[in-house]
Structure 1
Amino acid sequence: MLNDAYGNPVTTNSADTIKVIDAFVDSYIGFGTDFSGIFGAADRDPDCAIAAAYATLLGLFVETPARVELSTKYANQAKAALGNATERERIFTAAVLCLRELDVAGALAHFRTLASDHPGDLFAIKLGQNTYFNLGDDDGLLWLINQVFDRHKDCAYAYGMRAFGHEQKSNFGQAEADGRLATEMKRKEPWAHHAVAHVLLTQGRHDEGIKWMDDLSNEWDDRNSFMFTHNWWHQALFFLEQEDFQTPLKLYDEKIWGVDKTYSLDQVNAISLLWRLEQLGVDVGDRWTDLSSFVAARTLINDQPFFDMHYVYALARGGHADALEALMAGAEKLGRDAPGLTRAVWSDVAVPSMRGYISLAQGDHKGAVRQMAAAQPRLQEIGGSHAQRDMFQLAWVTSLVEAGKFDRALPILEARLAFRQGVAMDTHLLENARARAT
C-alpha cells in the first residue's frame, strides 16, 4: 500500500498508479489537463478500486455517448476491487457510483462522511463542493471545506476552495483574504483568482477586478478550457458592467469562444456573455449562428437545469427547432421522472424558465414574463454562482421593462443600484426604465 500526494493510503503497490492518481487529482482540483492517463492506470492496476472509481468519474465527464460504456466498464471494475480497498476508498467509490445513478443525495451523504472521517481526501471535498454547487446549496459547499481545512492549511487549493465558499455565502472579506492568500501561496491557482474576481464584481470594484485578472491571466493558458474561458468571462463582465461593450466582444472572439466549442461549460460561458450583451442592447452580429450550431449538435443534454437554461436561448436564437424540441422534451420528462432531490427543480424552475426564454428569444416579452414569473424566487436551486445567475435576473427585469411592467421592474433595479452604487450598467437600466414608465 502506498500513499497519494495528500497522504491518503491507496490500495496499490504501483508507483506508476500513484503518479497517475496524483496527476489526475491535481488536474481536477487545479483545473489542469492531465486526466486521461487514469484509464490506462486503472487498466494496468485492476485491483486498485479508487483508480477505477476515478476512471468511472472521468467516463461520466465525457460528453459523448462513449460515457456510458466507459463509466460502466470502470464502475464494474471498481466494485470488483472493493474487497481489498480501504474504508476511504470504499466510501469514495460508493459516492461515485451514486453520481453515476443520479443519486445525488446518496453521493452527498458519502462526501459528508469522507469530510468527517477522512479529511485528507481533498479531491472528495472538491467533488462534493461541485455537487453542492450544482444544487445551489451554499451552506453545504462551505461546510465541506471547513470540515477538512485544518488538515490542509499548507495547501493553496484549500484556501481557494474556502474562498469560493465564503464568497457564495456573501462573506466577502474572508473570501477575498483567502483568495489572495491562496494566490500568494501558489500563483497558478485559478480558482482563487476566480473567487476574488467574484468579490470584486459583486462589490462593484471593477477597475480593481480588471487589474487583478489581467495581472494573473498568464497563469491560465495551460489550464483546462473551462477555467481558461471562465476566467476570461469574468474579465469580460468587469468591462461589460462599465458599459465598455467592445472589449467583451473582443474577449468573446479571442478568449471565450473557440477553445473547445463542443464542451458544455465553454458553451455556457459563451452563451452567458452574448445573452447579457443583447439584454443591454448590444448588436452581437452573427455570433449566435456558430454558437447555436454547436449547441444543436450536442449528444449530452438535460444533464443539469443550469446548462439547459442556457442552451435553450441559444437554440431559440439560432433557429434550431428540432434541437429545441428535443431539449424541452427531455427537460419536461425530468420534471416528471428525475430523482426526488432534483425533480422539482426541473418541473418548477427550469422548464417554466426555459419556456420563458424561448418567448424572450422570439421577442414576446409579455409571454416571457408570464412563463418565468413563478420560477424567479427559486432560481438559486438551479445551481451556478450568484454572478452566473445574475444573467437570469437581467433576463427577467429587462422582460418586465419591455412588457411595460414598470411597477415590478423598478423596485428590482432600485435594489440593484442600492447594493452596488455607481455601476454604469445598473444606473442606465434604472434610468431607462424610469424614462419609459413616465
Structure 2
Amino acid sequence: MQDILGNATTVQNEQDLQAINDFIEGFLGYNQCIINILAAAETSHNGLVHIYAGLLWMLSETGEIPQAAQQYAKNAMAATGLNAREQLLLQTLTFWLQADMARVRQTLQTLLRQWPRDLVALKIHQYDDFNNGRFLEMLRVTELCHSAAANNAYFQGMRAFAFEQCHLFDHAEHAARQALAINPKEAWAQHALAHIMLTQGRIEEGVSFLSAHTQEWGRLTSFLYTHLWWHKALFHISLDQQDVALAIYDEHCWARDRTFSQDQAGAVSLLLRLELTGVAVGTRWQELSDYLVVRQQDVSQPFLTLHYLYGLLRAHKPEGDLLLNAIRHAAAQKKSNLHAAWHEVGLALADALAAHAQERYDAVLPLLDPVMGRIDQIGGSHAQRDLFEQVALDAMLRTGRNSRAQQVLETRRLVAPYDAPTNKALAEIYEKSGLSMLAKEARDRSLFA
C-alpha cells in the first residue's frame, strides 16, 4: 500500500493506512488528525505506525526524552518486514532518542535522496534546522525534493518558509502563492506570507489576508492555530489596535493547549510586546506563569526556554531563579549539543531578560549588546527574535539613551513607515530633544496607522 505522498509502505490494512495518512497530513498540515496515530498504535503491529507514534512524541517538546517514544521505537524494532525507507525512518527515531541530531540529519538526507517525496523526512530536517538557526540548510534540503514534489502544497509551504527565513522574500512569496494555488487552505504557506508581509511592512494587507482565513484555522493543531493568531495580533499592534491584540491573546493565543511549549512561548512573547506598547495586562502574567512552573529545568530548546524564563521572572515565581540556574549549568556543559548555543549566546540573553523582567534596566544593554548579532544561534524566526531588539529598545528609552534609540527606530521605520509603536516612540524622543516638527511628523504617521 502507498501513503498519500505516493511512498510504498508495509501496511497491510486500511485502518493502519488511514492512521499513517492522518499522521502525514497532520504533521505537514498541522491538522489535529495527527493524534490518530496514537490510537492506531495501541492495536497495530505495523512498524511504521509505531515509528510515527514515536516521532509524534519526540515532537511534543516535553523538555526531556519521552518514555513513550522509547517504547514505540522498541515496538518498531520488534516488528518484521520494514522496507528500506521505513528502516531509515526508524534509524531517525533511534538517533533522535540518543540526541544525536547530526546523525538524524545525515539519515534524513540519505532517505530524501532516494525517496524525495517523503515530506515527513523533509519536515523533520527543517524542524531541527530551524531550532538551531541553520536557515540556509532549511532551504538547501528542499532541493533534494524539488523535482519530485514541486506539485505538492505542503512542499511549497515548507520551501516558502525556508526562503523567507533567508530573507529571499520574492522567492518566498512565489512559493507560498504556488502552495495556495494548489490548496488555498495550506496553513504553513499562509504563515509564510504573514511573515513576508510583516517583515516588508505590508501591515494592512497582512491583516486583510489573515482575516480572510481565520475560519479555516479551527482544524489546526494548537501550535499553528495560536501562532497564526499571534501573527495577526502583531499586525494589530502595528496599527495601534492594542485592544484587538489583547482580545486575540485572551480568545485565541492563550486559549487552546496551555501545556504546550510553543503556545506558552507565543503567549509570553505577545504579552511582553503588548506591555512594551504601554498596555496594562492585569493578572495575565500570574495566570500564564502557573503553566510555566513545570519548565523550571527545561533547557532543551534555548529559544523556548528564554520565553519560559521571562514569564516566570515577570510573575516573580521562584521557579524563574531555578530555571536561570539550569541555564547556567547548561552553558557550562561542554559535551552537550546545546553548549555553544547556551554558552555563546543564550546565557547572556537569559541574564538580559532577567534584568528586564526585574526592572534592572541599566543592566540590559551591557548584556545584550555583545550577542545581538548572533541571536540566530538559538533558533526561532526573525520575526520572533525581533522581541529581543524590542527589549533592547525599551531599555534604551527607559535609561535615556535617546540618540541610540532614535537610530534604531528610524531604521525600523524604513521597513514599516506607519508602524504605530515606532512612531509614538520617535515622537516622544523628538519632543524631548526639542525637535517639535519631527515629533509632529511622527505623531501624524502614528495616527495614519
For the criterion TM > 0.5, the same-fold answer is yes
Pairing partner for 1:59 from 57, 62, 78? 57
Distance change in 2, residues 1:272/1:64 (3 Å)? closer
* Alignment correspondent of 1:302: 299
Contact 1:229 1:257 (C-alpha < 8 Å) held by counterparts: yes
* Alignment correspondent of 1:169: 166
Q: Residue deviations 1:127-170, cap 9 Å, x none?
A: 11111110111111111223202212222111111111111111
* Alignment correspondent of 2:41: 42
Distance change in 2, residues 1:115/1:319 (3 Å)? same
Amino acid paired to 1:350:
G
For 1:358 and 1:65, how far apart are their aligned partners in 2?
Answer: 21
So what's the TM-score if we normalise by structure 1? 0.93
Pairing partner for 2:74 from 73, 76, 79? 76
* Alignment correspondent of 2:348: 352
Distance change in 2, residues 1:143/1:282 (3 Å)? same
- The farther-off stretch of 13-22 and 295-304 is 295-304
* Alignment correspondent of 2:287: 290
Amino acid paired to 1:186:
N
What secondary structure, in the 3-state scheme, does the structure 2 residue paired with 1:422 have? coil
* Alignment correspondent of 2:381: 385
- The farther-off stretch of 36-45 and 392-401 is 36-45
* Alignment correspondent of 2:21: 22
Distance change in 2, residues 1:168/1:72 (3 Å)? same
- The farther-off stretch of 174-183 and 265-274 is 174-183
What secondary structure, in the 3-state scheme, does the structure 2 residue paired with 1:84 have? coil
Per the TM alignment, residue 218 of structure 1 is displaced from its structure 2 partner at its CA by 0.7
Determine whether 1:365 maps to 2:361: yes
* Alignment correspondent of 1:3: 2
Contact 1:64 1:299 (C-alpha < 8 Å) held by counterparts: no
Contact 1:221 1:228 (C-alpha < 8 Å) held by counterparts: yes
Aligned pairs for 1:398-417 within 5 A? 398-417=394-413
For 1:432 and 1:342, how far apart are their aligned partners in 2?
Answer: 41
Contact 1:262 1:298 (C-alpha < 8 Å) held by counterparts: no
Contact 1:61 1:67 (C-alpha < 8 Å) held by counterparts: no
* Alignment correspondent of 2:31: 32
Aligned pairs for 1:14-163 within 5 A? 14-46=13-45, 48-62=46-60, 68-81=66-79, 84-163=81-160
For 1:268 and 1:126, how far apart are their aligned partners in 2?
Answer: 21
Amino acid paired to 1:34:
C
So what's the TM-score if we normalise by structure 2? 0.91
* Alignment correspondent of 2:439: none
Q: Residue deviations 1:63-116, cap 9 Å, x none?
A: 6699632012112222334x7322222222222222222222221222222222
What secondary structure, in the 3-state scheme, does the structure 2 residue paired with 1:85 have? coil
Distance change in 2, residues 1:286/1:335 (3 Å)? same
* Alignment correspondent of 1:374: 370
Aligned pairs for 1:227-238 within 5 A? 227-238=224-235
Aligned pairs for 1:164-313 within 5 A? 164-298=161-295, 301-313=298-310
Per the TM alignment, residue 180 of structure 1 is displaced from its structure 2 partner at its CA by 2.5
For 2:403 and 2:98, how far apart are their aligned partners in 1?
Answer: 45
Q: Residue deviations 1:369-407, cap 9 Å, x none?
A: 222222211111111111111111111122123223345
Determine whether 1:330 maps to 2:326: yes
- The farther-off stretch of 268-277 and 397-406 is 397-406
For 2:347 and 2:429, how far apart are their aligned partners in 1?
Answer: 28
Pairing partner for 1:427 from 414, 418, 423? 423
- The farther-off stretch of 30-39 and 283-292 is 30-39
Per the TM alignment, residue 14 of structure 1 is displaced from its structure 2 partner at its CA by 2.7
Per the TM alignment, residue 271 of structure 1 is displaced from its structure 2 partner at its CA by 0.9
Per the TM alignment, residue 272 of structure 1 is displaced from its structure 2 partner at its CA by 0.8
Q: Residue deviations 1:329-358, cap 9 Å, x none?
A: 222222222755431111221122111111
What secondary structure, in the 3-state scheme, does the structure 2 residue paired with 1:220 have? helix
Q: Which runs of 5+ in 1 are unaligned?
A: none
For 1:184 and 1:86, how far apart are their aligned partners in 2?
Answer: 34
For 1:138 and 1:66, how far apart are their aligned partners in 2?
Answer: 25
* Alignment correspondent of 2:11: 12
Q: Which runs of 5+ in 2 are unaligned?
A: 435-449
For 1:405 and 1:299, how far apart are their aligned partners in 2?
Answer: 34
Per the TM alignment, residue 181 of structure 1 is displaced from its structure 2 partner at its CA by 2.8
Q: Residue deviations 1:277-322, cap 9 Å, x none?
A: 112222222211111111124477222001111111110111111x
- The farther-off stretch of 150-159 and 192-201 is 150-159
Distance change in 2, residues 1:95/1:299 (3 Å)? farther
For 1:9 and 1:194, how far apart are their aligned partners in 2?
Answer: 30
What secondary structure, in the 3-state scheme, does the structure 1 residue paired with 2:33 have? coil
Per the TM alignment, residue 250 of structure 1 is displaced from its structure 2 partner at its CA by 1.1
* Alignment correspondent of 2:444: none
Contact 2:51 2:72 (C-alpha < 8 Å) held by counterparts: yes
Contact 1:49 1:77 (C-alpha < 8 Å) held by counterparts: yes
Distance change in 2, residues 1:424/1:127 (3 Å)? same
Percentage of matched positions with identical amino acids = 32
